């Protein structure tokens, strides 16, 4: 068939010459590559003409081993059905109709997304149903289980089942009657009651007395000292993780006098352990013991110098042997000089005390006086009573504690040296008049002592030591002890109505 003419041919325009194919530029083949990748000798075409499918070197190639006989019998075609294909819908023979290709969708109800080229689809069973199912015959139904058979696994007579029900009803009725009789014949004053209960309000915010007591109590001890048939009870405070506790000297004085005495420390959780005296300071009524316990709870040390009258304080100890007793109050006064007689007739006890109205009784001695943060600011030591018999008197709201600044300083010295020395001026003094604040009058002067060397004479009235006013003899002692041994301190005094100031180099007691 001839091709139609183009517009150029029809118009008679001259035809341009067509470009011929460019010659192929075939570079020379590398002999080494030709020897490696070239055709073997005697082969001209792209494939070996001597190759025939299914054979290797003239032998038949077995592509796969024959199926096991058991699998072939289970999944193979039945005898006589070697040429039968899978059954198609609406075709009982499995043969494709001869009048044309089969429709990709064999029925209107077939899946339209089915691959038309698939060999088979899921259909009904290939085998015909049983003859009895074709005929519509139903299998015979067995007898249904009765209630006795379902409950007891065997047949039970209806009479026996009825008797069992009657017995159950009788038992329930008898139980109900017995309960009604017990409830009706009981005491009219006793019985059940519905009591409305409400959770009590607990004001335990951080910093409350309950919170402070919970944190501090594990560090406060109850100290029991026994010697034969005698004994005493006091308190103590753990101040060091190595087991050192601070207390009053009069609490453990029985143990210092009797080497056979036994000291027992009792913690707030009931733990009891032995203790030994490390050192004592009778002049300030302080002592240090070491408790045989590992990793104890220790108290936080505060600064008593930061206190002001009116600050809240809490006393924790064992008054009258009642362990873990907590009382609260305020700081009533500061720098209150206290003098008391020693236990064994030694020098009088004098210290610069914190006065508090927190209830303190016998047994609180050596316990903790803490501030509103739970820090130790004093060691409870003495009380003022309203009777001359101090053993029978109780708290009247005037208690005294050794300031923590002084107590901890003395305790550290006792732990390191076993004893402590205080600054001394070398005189005996007395108050100018009873219950007055006019100063401390010199009674006698120790020969060669610091006062004698400074020129202080008997009869002089000392009114000031350093920066502290002296109102009585007790305050003279605490004013001197506030300085270090060997320190030069100006002392203001009155001699025959004339004020004088002398410099005294303090010695040691």
Tell me the three state secondary structure of residue 391. coil
Closest by CA to 507, choosing from 470, 471, 443, 456, is: 456
Q: Which helix (H) or strand (E) holds 405?
A: helix 404-417
Compute the distance between CA of residue 126 and CA of residue 29 in angstroms, rounded to an integer. Answer: 65
Per the annotation, the verdict on 196 as an active-site residue is no
- Select which of 217, 222, 235, 250 is catalytic: 250
Per the annotation, the verdict on 250 as an active-site residue is yes
Tell me the three state secondary structure of residue 63. coil
Q: Which helix (H) or strand (E) holds 214?
A: helix 209-216
HEC secondary structure over 430-498: EECCCCCCCCEEEEEECCCCHHHHHCCCCCCEEEEECCEECCCHHHHHHHHHCCCCCCEEEEEEEECCE
Per the annotation, the verdict on 422 as an active-site residue is no
Cβ proximity of 286 and 403 under 8 Å: no
Measured between alpha carbons, how far is residue 285 from residues 280, 323, 339, 341, 351 in Å? 8, 22, 10, 10, 8
- Select which of 232, 235, 253, 285 is catalytic: 285
- Residue ranges in 38-122 assigned as alpha helix (H): 69-75
- Select which of 365, 381, 395, 431 is catalytic: 365
Compute the distance between CA of residue 207 and CA of residue 216 in angstroms, rounded to an integer. Answer: 12
Dmax over Cα atoms in the chain, in whole Å?
Answer: 162
Concatenating the DSSP letter of every residue in 330-375 gives EEEEEEEEEEE--TTS-SPEEEEEEEE-S---TT-TT-EEE-TTS-
Q: Which residues are catalytic?
A: 250, 285, 365
């Amino acid at each position: 068939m001839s091709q139609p003419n183009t517009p150029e041919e029809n118009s008679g325009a001259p035809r341009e010459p067509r470009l011929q194919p460019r010659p192929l530029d075939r570079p020379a083949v590398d002999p080494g590559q030709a020897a490696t990748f070239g055709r073997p000798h005697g082969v001209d075409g792209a494939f070996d003409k001597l190759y025939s499918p299914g054979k290797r070197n003239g032998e038949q190639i077995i592509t796969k081993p024959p199926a096991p006989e058991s699998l072939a019998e289970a999944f193979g075609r039945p005898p006589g059905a070697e040429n039968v294909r899978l059954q198609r819908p609406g075709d009982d023979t499995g043969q494709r109709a001869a009048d044309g290709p089969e429709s990709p969708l064999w029925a209107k109800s077939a899946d339209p997304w089915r691959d038309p080229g698939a060999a088979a689809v899921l259909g009904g069973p290939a085998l015909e149903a049983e003859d009895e199912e074709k005929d519509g015959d139903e299998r015979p139904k067995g007898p249904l289980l009765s209630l006795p058979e379902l409950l007891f696994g065997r047949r039970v007579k209806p009479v026996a089942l009825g008797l069992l029900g009657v017995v159950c009803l009788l038992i329930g009725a008898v139980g109900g009657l017995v309960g009604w009789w017990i409830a009706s014949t009981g005491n009219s004053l006793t019985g059940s009651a519905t009591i409305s209960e409400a959770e009590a309000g607990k004001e335990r915010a951080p910093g409350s007395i309950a919170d402070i007591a919970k944190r501090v109590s594990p560090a406060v001890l109850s100290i029991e000292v026994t010697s034969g048939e005698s004994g005493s009870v006091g308190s103590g405070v753990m101040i060091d993780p190595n087991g050192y506790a601070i207390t009053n000297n009069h609490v453990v004085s029985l143990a210092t006098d009797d080497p056979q005495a036994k000291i027992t420390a009792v913690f707030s959780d009931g733990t009891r352990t032995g203790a030994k005296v490390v050192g004592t300071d009778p002049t300030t009524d302080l002592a240090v013991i070491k408790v045989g316990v590992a990793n104890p709870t220790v108290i936080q040390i505060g600064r008593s110098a930061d206190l002001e009258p009116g600050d809240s304080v809490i006393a924790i100890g064992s008054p009258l042997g009642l362990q873990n007793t907590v009382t609260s109050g305020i700081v009533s006064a500061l720098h209150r000089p206290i003098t008391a007689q020693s236990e064994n007739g030694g020098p009088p006890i004098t210290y610069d005390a914190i006065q508090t109205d927190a209830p303190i009784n016998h047994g609180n001695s050596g316990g903790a006086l803490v501030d509103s943060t739970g820090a130790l600011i004093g060691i409870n030591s003495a009380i003022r009573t309203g009777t001359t018999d101090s053993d029978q008197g109780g708290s009247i709201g005037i208690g005294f504690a050794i300031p923590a600044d002084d107590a901890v300083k003395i305790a550290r010295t006792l732990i390191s040296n076993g004893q402590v020395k205080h600054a001394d001026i070398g005189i005996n003094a007395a108050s100018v008049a009873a219950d007055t604040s006019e100063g401390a009058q010199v009674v006698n002067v120790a020969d060669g002592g610091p006062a004698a060397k400074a020129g202080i004479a008997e009869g002089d009235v000392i009114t000031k030591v350093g920066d502290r006013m002296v109102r009585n003899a007790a305050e003279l002692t605490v004013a001197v002890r506030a300085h270090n041994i060997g320190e030069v301190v100006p002392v203001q005094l009155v001699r025959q109505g004339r004020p004088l100031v002398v410099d005294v180099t303090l010695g040691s007691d």
